Structure 1
Amino acid sequence: MKLLICIIDNFYADEVEKQLRDKGYRMTELASSGGFMKKGNTTFLFGLEEDDLPALRSALKEACAVVEERKQRKNKQAHRYTSFLLDVKDTAPLFLTT
């Protein structure tokens, strides 16, 4: 089991969430603020099997491209989102309580 942490530009967030939910992906959305990547962002957490990762990454790219086309964003973003992939077994120490 893997955990994909995806920090996405707010420009894409609503449509990405809608499209991925329509495709059956389950996610947790975290409202966040701060200076990461120097702009407004939304963080999504996805739990998935490693075999499903290529399809999820493809769905993320496709959803972002649809937003750019629909909203006619003139200059395409080189970095629509940043993602981190963690093995769930490696995250256990983060969630232990004493």
Structure 2
Amino acid sequence: MKLIVAIVQDKDSQQLQTHLVKDGFRATKLPSTGGFLKAGNCTFLIGVEEEKIDDALTLIKKTCHTRSQYVTPTFLMPEAASSMTDPVEVQVGGATCFILPVDKFVRF
């Protein structure tokens, strides 16, 4: 068994949760905050049998999309406040996934 830790943008979290349940994956959804843009994320903890890892990752990839967002440079680099004031386009979203081994799994 493996544990997939998937960090996704809030905008994709509800749809991902719906698809995970529909496809029979058990997941725990935790609210989290990204460090770069200080934006809302959700972290999913998904217990998966080894033969279903690719199915889960495919589902995450199809559900979580990247998108462009404009931010002010002062948000990114406070020291640049006086020299740069135009918004900068950055790419956000998608999913970051970590796959970890599970030594033991117990359900009560």
Residues 33-64 of structure 1, C-alpha deviations (whole Å, 9 max, x = no match):
3x434222000000111111011111112223
d(CA) in 2 for partners of 1:14, 1:3? 20
Q: Higher relative CO (CA 8 A, sep ≥ 6), structure 1 or 2?
A: 1
Task: Specify every segment of 5 or more residues in structure 1 that has no aligned partner in the other structure, as ranges.
Answer: 92-98
d(CA) in 2 for partners of 1:27, 1:19? 11
In structure 2, the partner of 1:23 is 23
Q: Which amino acid aligns with 1:29?
A: K
Residues 8-33 of structure 1, C-alpha deviations (whole Å, 9 max, x = no match):
01110111111111111110011223
In structure 1, the partner of 2:81 is none
**Equivalent residues in 2 for 1:1-98, closer than 5 Å:** 1-33=1-33, 35-38=34-37, 39-64=39-64, 75=68, 80-89=94-103
Q: Looking at CA atoms only, which structure, 1 or 2, has the larger radius of gyration?
A: 2
SS state of the match for residue 24, structure 2?
coil
Cα separation, partners in 2 of 1:46 and 1:59, compared to 1, 3 Å: same
Task: Specify every segment of 5 or more residues in structure 2 that has no aligned partner in the other structure, as ranges.
Answer: 69-90
Please report the TM-score for the alignment, with normalisation by the length of structure 2: 0.64
Which structure has the highest strand share of the two?
2
Q: What count of residue pairs does the alignment treat as equivalent?
A: 83
User: Which of structure 1's runs of 4+ aligned residues deviate more than 2 A?
Assistant: 35-39
Q: Percent identity?
A: 33
d(CA) in 2 for partners of 1:26, 1:7? 16
SS state of the match for residue 32, structure 1?
strand
